[in-house]
Amino acid sequence: MKLLLTSLNSRYTHQNLAIHYFYNILKEKYDVSLEEYTINDRIENIAYKIYRGGYDLVLFSIYIWNINMSLDLISYLKEISNVKIVAGGPEVSFDYEEIFKKSDIDFLIIGEGEEVIESLLDKIQSNSIINLHGVLYKKDGEVQGNSRYNIVQNTNNIPCIYLRKENINKNKYLYYEVSRGCPYNCKFCLSSTNKGVRVRDKDIVFKELKNILDSKVSIVKFVDRSFNFIPYHYDLIKFLIDNDNNITKFHLEIHPSLISDEFIGLFKKARSSQFQFEIGLQTTNLQTEKEINRVGSFDDIKEGVLKLKETGIHIHMDLIFGLPYETYEIFKKSFNDLYSLKIDKIQLGFLKLLKGSRLREDYKIYNYRFLQDPPYEVISNMWVSIDDVFKMKVIEDVVEKFYNEKNFEYTINQLEEFYNSPFDFFEDFASFWEDKYYLKNISKSGLYDAFLEFLIKKELDKRDVLDCLRIDYLRNNNRSQKSLISKYFNILEKNEVLKTVERNKELIEEFSGIDSKYILKYSQFEEIDGKIYMFIKGNFLILEKEEDNDK
C-alpha cells in the first residue's frame, strides 16, 4: 500500500508536526511519502500532483485554518481517483457525524493518533474488521467504530523526529513539544477537553534540542500550552542558555500566574534575542476570569511581567474580546491594564467557539452568535453587540499598525497626556481610521501621512507632538521618501553636519559601530528642539549644537 501524509499549512514557513511523527512511525513498514502544501496553493495543482503519485491512501491533518480547503481537495481527489482518505486533527475530532455527512473521508482518527495509526493502516491493508479506540468509518451510510478520544499517555512514545539533521529544515519555523495538555481548564480553549499534562523525559528532550541547536535553526516555537508548568523547565532554560549558538531564537508560551523570581533570574545570563514570550492575559475582569476558569490575579501577573521586562526579552500578550461578562466598557479596563505594562506587542483577539470547547457546548447560556464555519468567531453575545465587535475590529487594526510595529512609539507616548486613557486614544484614532483608511492598502510612509492628518484634524499638532512624529519618521524612514511630514523637516547644511561629526567622532563611532568618515552614507541628521539628532539603524543619537555641551 502506497501512502501519502499531507497537510495544508497556513504559510510556507510553517510545518505540521503530526504528519512528521506519523512518517517516522510508518517509514520502516510502508511505502510512505510526506508532502506539505499551503492554503495559498491551488487545489487542482495539489490534486494533480497527488494523483500522479499513484497513492492508495492519503492521510490529511486537518485544522481550523485548512478544513474547508482540505475537504474540497478530498472531494476533488475522489472525483479523479479511487484513493482512500484518512483524516485526523482537531477539526475532525468533534462533530464527526457532520464531517462524514459533508465529506468523502473514509476513516477518521479521533484525538491523538500516534498510537493508533499503524494498527489502522494494517487493518485497512488486510481488509480486516476495524475495532480500534478513536477510529470511525462509514459503512452502508452509517458511522461505525469507536469514538473515544485518543490520548497518548506516555509521550515518550512520540517519535524523536529531530535526532536526524535531515529532518530539520532551516528555512522554516521548527515546532517542538515537550508536553501535551494544560494544567488549567479555560472554557474557551481546546486544552480544557483533556485534563492533565503529560511530559516527555528530560534526557530525550535535551538530545533533540542539542541537535536542533547544532543545526543553527533560526526560530524554534515550543507548542507547549504552559511552558513554565513543565517540571524541569528551569533545567531546560539553563540548557538552552549554556548551549546557545548565537543564532536560534526560542518562542515560549508561558502562564502569567507561574512567573516567579527564580524563573526571571534564569534569563539574566541569556543572549538578548535568544527568547521571546507569549503570555495569554485574556482579561482582567474578575467575574469573567471566574466564569471561564481562568487562574491568576492581575496584580500578581503585573508584578511578574514588570520584572520579566527588566530582562529585555520580547513580550507578546493577548486579550480576548467577547468573553462572558465583559462588556465593551469593561474590556476598556482590561486593555488599559495591559497597556500599563508597556510590553512589546498587544494582541487583540476575538473569541472563537472552537469545536470541543466548553464555551461552544454552552453557547446558548450566553446567547452567543458565532460563525458556523471556521474560524467560528463570535458575532455577539449577551454583553457585546455586532457593532461592538466591528468597532473593536478597527481598534485592533490600529493597535497592530501603530503600536505593535513600534514605528510611532514616541508620538503615541507624547499623546497620552491629551487623553483620559490609552484606550480612549486608540478608540478616537480608530474612528478617524475607519472613515478614511480602514481596509485600504497603505504604505509604511503613508501611515505617517495618515497619522499627521489625524493630528491636524484633532488639533493635536502641537510642537512637541510633531517633534515626536519627526523622530518616529526619521528613525524608520529615509528622508528622501515623499511624505506630508517633510514640510516639518529642519535639514542641516552639510558643513554643519561635518563639523558635528568631527566634534563627536568617538561618540558616534561607539554608538553606530561605523567609522565616522562613512557615517553620512548610513545616517540622517536633523535639528529638533535646538538639538542635533543623528538617525541610524532605527535608532538615534542626540548631539548638542555647541561643542562644550556635547553629550
Q: What is the pLDDT of residues 241-278, one digit of tens each?
A: 999 999 999 999 998 888 888 999 999 889 989 999 99
**Gap between the Cα atoms of 74 and 58, Å rounded:** 9
Q: 146 - beta bridge partners?
A: 135
**Residue 207, domain member (yes or no):** yes
Both 85 and 168 in one domain: the answer is no
CB-based contact 533:526 (threshold 8 Å): yes
The per-residue pLDDT for 549 is 52
**Residue 49, domain member (yes or no):** yes
Residue ending a domain, choose from 465, 485, 505: 485
Both 133 and 189 in one domain: the answer is no
The pLDDT confidence band at residue 312, using thresholds 50, 70 and 90, is very high
Q: At which residue does the C-alpha cell 508536526 appear? A: 17
CB atoms near residue 226 (< 10 Å): 22
CATH number of the domain to which 99 belongs: 3.40.50.2300
Both 241 and 345 in one domain: the answer is yes
Mean pLDDT, residues 274-284 taken together: 95
Residue ending a domain, choose from 485, 504, 529: 485
Both 270 and 182 in one domain: the answer is yes
> What is the count of structural domains for the chain?
4
Both 350 and 459 in one domain: the answer is no
Higher-pLDDT residue of 479 and 440 is 440
Q: What angle do CA 131, 137, 142 make, to 5 degrees?
A: 110
For residue 30, what is its C-alpha cell? Answer: 510502508
Both 164 and 139 in one domain: the answer is no
Q: Does 445 have pLDDT greater than 80?
A: yes
Mean pLDDT, residues 272-292 taken together: 95
Both 7 and 110 in one domain: the answer is yes
**Residue 171, domain member (yes or no):** yes
Residue ending a domain, choose from 468, 485, 502: 485
Q: 380 - beta bridge partners?
A: 369
**Residue 520, domain member (yes or no):** yes
CATH number of the domain to which 307 belongs: 3.80.30.20
**Residue 129, domain member (yes or no):** yes
111 DSSP assignment:
B
Both 15 and 127 in one domain: the answer is yes
Q: Does 551 have pLDDT greater than 60?
A: no
**Residue 390, domain member (yes or no):** no
**Residue 396, domain member (yes or no):** no
Q: Does 301 have pLDDT greater than 70?
A: yes
**Residue 291, domain member (yes or no):** yes
Both 283 and 374 in one domain: the answer is yes
Q: In what order do the strands lie in the sheet with 174-176?
A: 174-176, 219-222, 249-254, 275-282, 314-321, 345-350
pTM: 0.92
Please state, rounded to an integer, the average pLDDT across all residues of the chain.
93
Both 197 and 321 in one domain: the answer is yes
The per-residue pLDDT for 550 is 46
| Span of 8-17, 453-462, 475-484 with lowest mean pLDDT | 475-484
pLDDT in tens, 75-104: 999 999 999 999 999 999 998 999 999 899
Both 462 and 505 in one domain: the answer is no
Domain span at 367? 155-384
Both 83 and 136 in one domain: the answer is yes
| Span of 312-321, 372-381, 431-440, 489-498 with lowest mean pLDDT | 489-498
237 DSSP assignment:
H
